Structure 1
């Protein structure tokens, strides 16, 4: 049930590619689709294309060493970095403590899938251990304040900030009812804390992004926890406040371990191209490499080390893990090396008509990377990077599918 609801919430949050719906790679296949050398005519000076056969022999290579914007195809690298440092069996945790003053404290560790259904289960277990507490302390100290380059101050879900204690992808879905607001999702009540923020948008309905400024997103998490705790029979006599758990002094009351493995999180990340999830993974990978608190700088540093020492590449510059920043640069040759490392996990990518792929979109940029399964079952990796405004990757990928896919 929780897994299904997470899928629906991700979908409702606009966490598919926010700039438009992708076309299935082979949907445009027709007699007019180019094949072989004709595919190269679609690649301009600001674009790149590399494709290989299942044995790794290069079939096509155009501008393979040109540094270009990867957009969301960068998430494939982020997935590899997370698996390297955290391990495929990693499960996020969230802890609840009780201090000597009968205050309840919730400490987050960066779980990107801490949604209402999960919170309800946590609160049910906590309510079995305590029925009344004073203040509710929210501890987001496992991450430092994180600013993601490329993220702007909008109400779009792809601009959601990161945080150690973040709920529902740091978004709130609402609609107007009479003179007030109610939740647009039955599993998530609207708490009074967020009313003023909704009014400021001037919207009658929609999904807003919580801000990291003044701890808004962390405090919102606390208010939502307090509401679910009350529903479960554990009442608060105090306020929701930011604070930190005193390890060794505060008593651990309950530890929630995510039902999702890291690979299951990665599958959802790649399917829905969730920028928030990508950078949550990158930051926690940085913690695994360098220790807490989590910072974007340490996450990028960990990724750089992985690229140099494991992939043996230096033709990439990354500023964050989702691809939203225009500071990110990579060559198609480097992306092919990433795909070579990701081949055992290709099933985590979206698949349509024998093509496993990740799309990427920014203004004036369209990219696609993945694998084409041939008639014999082998996987042919490909990278299409179009940094020429107005171009679309579908004709290129369709031509590649005909060239490399055999009977596909």
Structure 2
């Protein structure tokens, strides 16, 4: 962020405006001479469906080509989603999951969209509940805080980036397994049991080792979360005499434990950016929508919150958002818009992937390659860059190689 100019007494000699302008232009030209030759070689790498924008730590533009063109950002959109979360939820925000008992001795779990409810966390929660609970009847799962719809761009595949969203989910709605020499299946993660619930789904694919994703059909993702809690509760000696079913928490139910996530919002964003996790991105966007506009969380509410933040705070009024991860080809943003996001995100740049002098976020879709972030200038400042290649067959590697070599 630029520092405000300070006021000084007028000197005895007042430079004429036209002379002052000429001096400034000459100084800028002189300062830029070290960059111009090398950076200009980037022009031939940027086609009509591509853009590149580079600025120094003070925001002065060092190179710009098609900077105003609205292009598909792919996963660099996660920078804007992260900023939106920090704005509405706050850096100290933590997701919660609530546990209740009712008059029929049922244990109820209400989810609020925690995207990092992983096996280790479920085990820790079960240990805590063992001090508050004995046997119970049914395990009742309340997923009513979210009303998720299919995410634009997500297809029905086995790829983790297509995992669906929900209010009560564990392990990113994926199951990581391997096949033993005798043909049996086992978990590929020592902390995660391979439950019969998941085994039935895995057996139908006949794969040797992979991840499969759970679906929203027949409430599969929520019931799997329930089965995982049931397993770890049993490990703590807490048995349920009934089954697992969906339901809702009532006003008469007793809250026995409110789990506050061990991961802060900054921890969540770091995982989101490092692993480019689409599930985390849209879980967070849905939670933002509920925070701003009230439950239940919907994609429309999350998108509207992000657009409002972009327009009101970042002053970006001409972007197009379909969801928060970048998986949709309907998303549109310019390199100039991304540069505004980068300026706002700079205090959190350490949450990004780090390689050499660079902190960055990449994006990749069929025919789309993007990269945005920061390059250490060696003096305590950061260059900012946004590379958007929407020409099929191109890679950001050549652009970044020349850019890193050109910037001291």
TM-score normalised by the chain length of structure 1: 0.89
Residue-by-residue CA offset, 1:16-49 (whole Å, 9 max, x unaligned)? xxxxxxxxxxxxxxxxxx9220011100011000
Q: Does 1:210 align with 2:217?
A: no
Do the aligned partners of 2:49 and 2:390 also contact (CA within 8 Å) in 1?
A: yes
Unmatched runs of 5 consecutive residues or more in structure 2: 1-36
Match of 1:237 in 2: 241
Match of 1:226 in 2: 230
Query: Does the residue aligned with 1:80 lie in a helix, a strand or coil?
Result: helix
Match of 2:160 in 1: 157
Distance 1:179 1:51, change over 3 A: closer
Do the aligned partners of 1:155 and 1:208 also contact (CA within 8 Å) in 2?
A: yes
Q: Does 1:49 align with 2:47?
A: no
Do the aligned partners of 1:49 and 1:61 also contact (CA within 8 Å) in 2?
A: yes
Match of 1:187 in 2: 191
| Alpha-carbon distance in 2 for matches of 1:35, 1:396 | 11
Q: Does 1:381 align with 2:384?
A: yes
Query: Does the residue aligned with 2:124 lie in a helix, a strand or coil?
Result: helix
Query: Does the residue aligned with 2:42 lie in a helix, a strand or coil?
Result: helix
Unmatched runs of 5 consecutive residues or more in structure 1: 1-33
Q: Does 1:298 align with 2:318?
A: no
Residue-by-residue CA offset, 1:83-137 (whole Å, 9 max, x unaligned)? 1110010011111111110011111111111000000010111122112001101
Q: After the TM superposition, which residues 70-85 of structure 1 pair with which residues of structure 2 at under 5 Å, given as runs?
A: 70-85=73-88
| Alpha-carbon distance in 1 for matches of 2:262, 2:148 | 27
The equivalent position to 2:200 in structure 1, one of 188, 196, 199, is 196
Query: Does the residue aligned with 1:145 lie in a helix, a strand or coil?
Result: coil
Post-superposition shift, 1:180? Answer: 4.1
Do the aligned partners of 1:315 and 1:331 also contact (CA within 8 Å) in 2?
A: no
Match of 2:354 in 1: 351
Do the aligned partners of 2:148 and 2:299 also contact (CA within 8 Å) in 1?
A: no
Do the aligned partners of 1:367 and 1:384 also contact (CA within 8 Å) in 2?
A: yes
Q: CA RMSD in A?
A: 1.2
Residue-by-residue CA offset, 1:232-275 (whole Å, 9 max, x unaligned)? 010011101011111x3111111111111101110111111000
Post-superposition shift, 1:340? Answer: 1.1
| Alpha-carbon distance in 2 for matches of 1:141, 1:172 | 24
Distance 1:213 1:54, change over 3 A: same
| Alpha-carbon distance in 2 for matches of 1:95, 1:388 | 47
| Alpha-carbon distance in 1 for matches of 2:74, 2:339 | 15
| Alpha-carbon distance in 2 for matches of 1:326, 1:392 | 18
Match of 1:61 in 2: 64
The equivalent position to 2:258 in structure 1, one of 242, 255, 261, is 255
Match of 2:402 in 1: 399
Match of 2:135 in 1: 132
Structure with higher Rg: it is: 2
Post-superposition shift, 1:182? Answer: 2.0
Residue-by-residue CA offset, 1:133-155 (whole Å, 9 max, x unaligned)? 01101111110133111111111
Deviates more, 1:47-56 or 1:191-200: 191-200
Post-superposition shift, 1:214? Answer: 1.2
> Alignment length, in residue pairs?
371
Post-superposition shift, 1:367? Answer: 0.3
Post-superposition shift, 1:398? Answer: 2.0
Match of 1:24 in 2: none
| Alpha-carbon distance in 2 for matches of 1:203, 1:354 | 40
Match of 1:338 in 2: 341
Query: Does the residue aligned with 1:54 lie in a helix, a strand or coil?
Result: coil
Post-superposition shift, 1:176? Answer: 3.0
Post-superposition shift, 1:197? Answer: 1.2
